[in-house]
Structure 1
């Protein structure tokens, strides 16, 4: 089992002392039931359209306030969970992308929680949540072509030893570490603030794990809580 121990820079801790996350590491097995993700996504979209979880608005508002605290503009670059939720409320559904991506998007939508999915084998060193100085490279796509960007100084980023893996905390994922169902080693990070009950974060992680186990029988999974409430 590949070990992944994400770290959080002290400057980020000072910015959001109550931030907590569930880190889930997966050694994949062959996918036997690819429709698990698509079906979960459909159910999650229906749940949001029907009103969703009680803490959704408060949690997404807290993320918007946190984005403003490090200089981001959430109206233009919202947290990933809010971006997905807005699409569902506008369109009523989300298109299927990939069995694993569909599954973690479903968890994000249903629980109003940012969820990142990463191909661990593409990492150089371990993931860490830090404050950018503006020199860290970020590989992305622009108008259908590969492009290189750099974060704003002071921006909160996920990164490894090679560069940025996700900009503005959880707004946009990079291309290099992007996850698909073909990955052998996967890492998921479910990120929450106090407006989301801790038991709901745990429940969201359990549902992601259950979906992966149904999708790929024989999968190996390890989960650990990071931040306040962790043992």
Structure 2
């Protein structure tokens, strides 16, 4: 497969949709979506370890003086989860769940996942990645009907009606906005084309959101010098 051009990457990002029903729930929601083609996948390495260690140190210093739920952006995400019926004490926003793990060590998964987890913790922003070779149709953020399939390691589940989910033509790719990813589209040691989502609410302004996206892109390109990337901010 020939590498995608910058224009093709941008055209694909234009297909990403945030449904009006989600905007009605949180008018302050913005998504920074990034596509990267030509990635070099593989196991965790020295570069990803360095990023994770720095994120652990940063989170640990902050947690020494405050609780995760006291962070303005994480607090806003807790309220967003409550708005569609999720209990954040049970199903935490992804960034909060990672930050809580930081003092005991963040997971080492693979070089691509490690990079986005490190950026998520360092910037307190929910962030996920999807393998585009296992994606079907355009990504869209919607409120679930409840009958959409969500593939887990143990089988197939279904979201609660009204739950905010990312989905494609084949089913739900991430439940509860940014809580848990399906096994079908997760990044692996074979991923070369990926789509990343950084989720922001009011306390995180566009400049801070773009800074997190820039850090993610720079880290990914540093490990994949021949890769091409494009981004799009979806707001309002």
* TM-score, normalised via structure 2 length: 0.89
Q: Is the deviation greater in 103-112 or in 198-207?
A: 198-207
Moved runs in structure 1, 4+ residues, more than 3 A?
Answer: 29-34
Post-superposition CA distance 1:15-53 (Å, at most 9, x none): 11110111100002446994222210110110111117x
Cα separation, 2, equivalents of 1:29 and 1:87 = 27
1:103 paired residue number: 115
1:120 paired residue number: 132
Give the drift of 1:11.
0.5
Give the drift of 1:123.
1.1
Q: 5+ unaligned residues in a row in structure 2: which ranges?
A: none
Post-superposition CA distance 1:156-192 (Å, at most 9, x none): 1100111100001110000000012421210000000
1:78 aligns with 2:95: no
1:21 aligns with one of 2, 27, 31: 31
1:39 aligns with one of 47, 50, 69: 50
1:210 paired residue number: 218
The 5 A counterparts of 1:143-158 are 146-158=154-166
Cα separation, 1, equivalents of 2:46 and 2:227 = 16
Question: Aligned to 1:50, what secondary structure does the other structure show?
Answer: helix
Over aligned residue pairs, what C-alpha RMSD do you find? Answer: 1.9
* TM-score, normalised via structure 1 length: 0.90
